[in-house]
Amino acid sequence: MTFPNLVLLFKLFSFLLLFRSTQSKLSADYYNKTCPKFQNIMQTILAEKQLSAPTTAAATLRVFFHDCFVNGCDSSMLIASNAFNKSERDANVNLSVAGDAFDLITRVKTALELECPGVVSCSDILAVSARDLVVMVGGPFYEVVLGRKDSRESNPSIVDKNLPKALTPMNELLSLFSSKGFSAEEMVALVGAHTIGFSHCKEFANRIFNFSKTSEFDPAYNPVFAQGLRKLCANYTKSPAMSAFNDVYTPGKFDNMYYKNLQKGLGLLSSDQAMVTDNRTKPFVDRFAANETAFFDMFARSMEKLSVYKVKENNDGDVRRRCDQFNTLQV
C-alpha cells in the first residue's frame, strides 16, 4: 500500500473514531449538563397535574404503551393531525385515550423549552412521565435512560395491527407481544397496568349484554359484578363516554389487586379475564396476585425493556419544538 493511501486510511479511521465518540448514548444522566433542571421541572408539573386530574397517570401510561408498541418509543403518538395528514391519534383504538396525557406533555414541554430550548425530546418526556406517575400512585421505580429522539412520521394505518384490543384472542396476544420481544410473563406484567384507569362500556358491552342464548352476560363474570356493570352501562350507546374502573377496589392505586380481581371474576375486559384461564398465562396471574413484590419486580423490568424498544437516536430523529407537531410541515 502506498504512503498516500496509508494517510487516507488513517484519516478515515480517525474520522470514524471521532464520529463514534460524538454519537449520543442513552444514559440516565443525559441532560445533566444541557438541562440540569430537567428532573425538577418534570416532577413539579407531574405532581400538579396528577393532583388536579387523577386520571392522568393511567392515561399517560396508556399513551406511552401505544406509542412504543406501534413503531418504537418515538413520540409518534403525540402528533396531532392537520389538514394534510392524519396521525396515530386518529386510529380507532386511540380515539378513547384521555386528553389529560396530552395536556400533561404539552405543559412539561412548554416549561422545558423555556428553560433549555431545543434540548429535551418529547420521547424522553413521555418515558419519564410514565415512570414517575406510576411511582406517584404507588407503583415501582425503574430506571429510564434518556437520549431518545422524536420521530418524523406518525402513520395511523399501522396502529391497529400493532396494538392489543379488548377482544383479541390469547393466541394473537401472545404472538403480538412475542413479535416485540416480550415473553408471556412480561406480557402479563405489562397488562397489570390496568390496575389503574378505566375502560369505556363499549369495550366490554359484548360481555354484559346478549352474551349468548343461555346467558345475558359472560358467566366468567362474578354475577353481582356483571349486574352492576349492566346497570352502569345501560345507556352506553347514547352516552359513549360511560366507563368503569379496570380495578373496582383500588382504581387509583398501583398495586396487585388487578390480578386478585381476575381470580374472582372481576376482570373487566375479555382479553384480561382470559389470562386467568389460559395455562400459558394463569401461573403468572396467580403469582402476581399472591406476591405484589414479584409483580412490581417484573413490571419494572418489563417497562425498562419497553422504554428502549426501537428508540431513535442521533440523526434518526429530531427534538421537536412542540410535541404535537413535526419541526417541518409534513405534506
Taking the chain (331 residues) in runs of 10, the rounded mean pLDDT of each run is 51 42 72 97 98 96 97 96 89 90 98 98 98 98 98 95 94 97 98 96 95 95 97 94 94 97 96 96 98 98 98 95 88 54
Please tell me whether residues 198 and 280 are part of one structural domain. Answer: yes
DSSP 34: T
Q: What is the CATH number of the domain that holds 220?
A: 1.10.420.10
Position 8 scores a pLDDT of 46
Cα of 266 vs its chain's centroid, Å? 23
Please tell me whether residues 137 and 174 are part of one structural domain. Answer: no
Q: Looking at the domain assignment, is residue 143 inside a domain?
A: yes
Please tell me whether residues 132 and 210 are part of one structural domain. Answer: no
Q: What is the CATH number of the domain that holds 60?
A: 1.10.520.10
Residue 30 and residue 24 in contact, taking contact as beta carbons nearer than 8 Å: yes
Q: Per the annotation, where are the binding residues for substrate? A: 164
The total number of structural domains in the chain stands at: 2
Position 82 scores a pLDDT of 85
Q: Print the domain residue range for 277.
A: 170-306
**CA–CA distance, 52 with 45 (Å, rounded to integer):** 11
Position 330 scores a pLDDT of 60
Q: Looking at the domain assignment, is residue 249 inside a domain?
A: yes
Active site residue 66: yes
Q: Looking at the domain assignment, is residue 265 inside a domain?
A: yes
Q: What is the secondary structure of 179-215 as a DSSP string?
A: HTT--HHHHHHHHGGGGSSEEEGGGTHHHHSS--SS-
Residue 42 and residue 129 in contact, taking contact as beta carbons nearer than 8 Å: yes
- By the 10 Å C-beta count (0-12 exposed, 13-18 middle, 19+ buried), 198 is classed as buried
Position 96 scores a pLDDT of 87
Residue of 49, 62, 66, 148 marked active site: 66
Q: Per the annotation, where are the binding residues? A: 67, 70, 72, 74, 76, 88, 164, 194-195, 247, 250, 255
Q: Looking at the domain assignment, is residue 110 inside a domain?
A: yes
The reported pTM is: 0.90
Position 2 scores a pLDDT of 56
**CA–CA distance, 49 with 170 (Å, rounded to integer):** 36
Please tell me whether residues 296 and 219 are part of one structural domain. Answer: yes
Please tell me whether residues 175 and 154 are part of one structural domain. Answer: no
